[in-house]
Amino acid sequence: MIIMLNGSFGVGKTTTAVALAQRIPHAHLFDPEDVGQFVRYLTTGLRRNGEDTDDFQDIRMWPPLTVITAQQLYQSYARPLIVPMTLVQPAVLEPIRQGFSSIAPVYHFCLVAPLATIQQRLQSRGDGPESWAWRKAAQYVPQLADPSYAIHLDTERHATPELIDQILAHIAV
């Protein structure tokens, strides 16, 4: 199985992913940001048009490489994958979600919290109002509230252990 943990920067995806991995036997964390950093490095000086932005998700080769990496991890090591990632653009989210579903059963959760809570969390980790994560959070929080972004789990009202219990109840592990 592949468990996608979507949500804004600062909402608690990594914290939830690490705790979830401790509860699912042999689970492996796969962070597509690592693929994004590689793609950004690899395409330096080559990106054109809409690809040369401050977000590696705008680089056309990132979504398929993310899916291929997940496929190789899953097929080579036969472990459940937990994938924390901020995916807001439908043109990026859907190919990844569909690609993952061709590999294994996919469970997609979207962690949410009010913007003020997320901004407090970002600030506590050193990301202030001028930071990239702060600006993106302000843009993404309203979008991620849409029901099409999966099962919403409120990280302000529920502590991490409760979130893990909710996720496990949905996937029936």
Give the domain CATH number at 9: 3.40.50.300
pLDDT of residue 109: 97
Per-residue model confidence as pLDDT tens digits over 109-123: 999 999 999 999 999
Mean pLDDT of the 135-139 span: 93
Residue 148 has pLDDT above 60, yes or no: yes
Mean pLDDT (the chain) is 95
Number of domains present in the structure of the chain = 1
pLDDT of residue 173: 57
pTM of the model: 0.94
Domain limits for position 83:
2-171
Phi, psi (rounded to 5 degrees) for 110: -120, 115
Distances (CA, A) of 5 to 48, 71, 149, 169: 30, 17, 10, 15
Mean pLDDT of the 53-73 span: 94
